[in-house]
Amino acid sequence: MSNYWNPFVQKLDPYVPGEQPKDKKYVKLNTNENPYPPSPKVTAAIKEAVNDQLRLYPDPNCDELRKKIAEHFEVKPSEVFIGNGSDEVLAFSFMTFFSAENPVAFGDITYSFYKVYANLCSLSPKIIPLNDDFSLPVDAFCEPNGGVVIPNPNAPTGRGLPIDSIRRILDANSEHVVIIDEAYIDFGGESVIPLIKDYPNLLVVRTLSKYSSLAGIRVGFALGQKALIDGLNTVKNSFNSYTIDRLALAGALAAIDDDAYSKGMAQQIIATREQTIKRLENIGFTIIPSQSNFIFASHTEVNAEVIFHALRDRGVLVRYFNQPRISNYLRITIGTDEEMDKLVEALKDILN
Ligand code: PMP
């Protein structure tokens, strides 16, 4: 912190991303990345863009990609907004739809970036405690709260939310925008994209980071009725009209085209997740039901922070959140079967 910073910035409490270690090679299960490489068609498309296109600015409107996404999800191109990772899409959404008069509600155990965006937008968010089993208290989200943001499935718990519950929240909040953050939806959840035509207040946020294994090129998008998307474009064009670069555009186009490849990876991850849950339950873990590419696990006898450090010492990185209600849980990303073998071996060693 420095006195050169303006007073507002001095008070910001920024997000701390999961560790990207450089000291040695870890089994890296801490940031919900996809353990498999992206489609070879994506890599080829990016290489082609490197050779041909770097001299030119990218299309600021991402017309081709918006068209491709619109076809894929059966919406109109005017109902698609593209951003630099879904984090940027979420940041623009907070700026566009929420205000001091209409702040935002989210759960106490949720994606921790929401609180950061709320601070950045000078909002006083309403923080709603989840139920004891980390399910969402739907009634509390139906009260007048301003806007709403919910990850489905939730992070870091992995729990999914039934579509009927989201419908109730949308009905009760018809005056305000409800953002459903579907970063992890392709690992077993049910998307609300088909509801967009019925709900002018619904914005669905997606990412290619997890499902398409493209965290490195930063492509996220939002789907919603045109009036919402126009608002996002107004903010984006007041900030950096070029949004995503040519390499990201080329990679994203190829990824949407090769959806079958992403689907195959997701199916493998789901199968590995189900096996891992059984193996961890056998050694004394309790796991929150997960529809994500990660699990939220707590051990009946040994403290999560102790396990976190012991795993790190053994070359396995998972995520530990030192915060109320979840300080005895570990969030473990589902890796390859081999990586999960290493995790289970290390855990057995620690627990013996
Ligand atoms: N939403 C949720 C719930 C997440 O966990 C993440 C990843 N940390 C994101 C959004 C952001 O993903 P990205 O910016 O890589 O698209």
What distance in Å separates the CA atoms of residue 195 and residue 90, rounded to the nearest whole number? Answer: 19
What integer best gives the mean pLDDT of the chain? 96
What distance in Å separates the CA atoms of residue 82 and residue 88, rounded to the nearest whole number? Answer: 9
**Separation of CA 331 from chain center:** 14
For residue 191, how far is its CA from the centre of ligand 1 (angstroms)? 16
Ramachandran quadrant class, 284 (left: phi over 0; alpha: psi -120 to 50; beta: rest): left
In degrees rounded to 5, what are phi and psi of residue 104?
A: -140, 150
Asked if the bond preceding 156 is cis, omega within 30° of 0, the reply is: yes
pTM of the predicted protein model: 0.97
Q: Could you say which of 1.20.120.330, 3.40.50.2300, 3.40.50.1980, 3.40.640.10 is the CATH number of the domain covering 40-258?
A: 3.40.640.10
Nearest alpha carbon, ligand 1 atom 1: 183
With 0-12 / 13-18 / 19 or more C-beta atoms within 10 angstroms meaning exposed / middle / buried, residue 51 is exposed
In degrees rounded to 5, what are phi and psi of residue 319?
A: -110, 130
With 0-12 / 13-18 / 19 or more C-beta atoms within 10 angstroms meaning exposed / middle / buried, residue 173 is buried
Residue 202 three-state SS: strand
129 touches 163 (CB < 8 A)? no
Give the mean pLDDT per block of 10 residues along the chain (352 residues).
Answer: 91 87 90 98 96 92 98 98 98 97 96 95 96 97 94 98 98 97 98 98 98 97 98 95 93 98 98 98 98 97 97 97 95 98 98 93
Mutate to test the pocket of ligand 1, among 106, 209, 210, 221 (most ligand atoms within 8 A of CB): 209
At 52 the pLDDT is 85
Query: Which ligand 1 atom sits nearest the alpha carbon of residue 87?
Result: 14
For residue 85, how far is its CA from the centre of ligand 1 (angstroms)? 7
Residues with CB under 6 A from ligand 1: 85-87, 111, 151, 155, 181, 183, 207, 209, 215, 220
For residue 55, how far is its CA from the centre of ligand 1 (angstroms)? 30
At 19 the pLDDT is 83
At 53 the pLDDT is 84
Q: Which two tokens stand for residue 228?
A: 């919402």
At 169 the pLDDT is 98
At 145 the pLDDT is 86
Residue 220 three-state SS: strand
CA dihedral 114, 115, 120, 124 (to 10 degrees): 120
CA angle 222, 228, 231 (to 5 degrees): 100
Mutate to test the pocket of ligand 1, among 32, 88, 113, 205 (most ligand atoms within 8 A of CB): 113
Element (H, E) at 40: helix 40-52
At 211 the pLDDT is 98
Domain ranges (residues) in the chain = 7-37+260-351, 40-258
CATH class, range 7-37+260-351: alpha beta
For residue 350, how far is its CA from the centre of ligand 1 (angstroms)? 31
At 155 the pLDDT is 97
For residue 308, how far is its CA from the centre of ligand 1 (angstroms)? 22
Q: Which two tokens stand for residue 82?
A: 């593209």
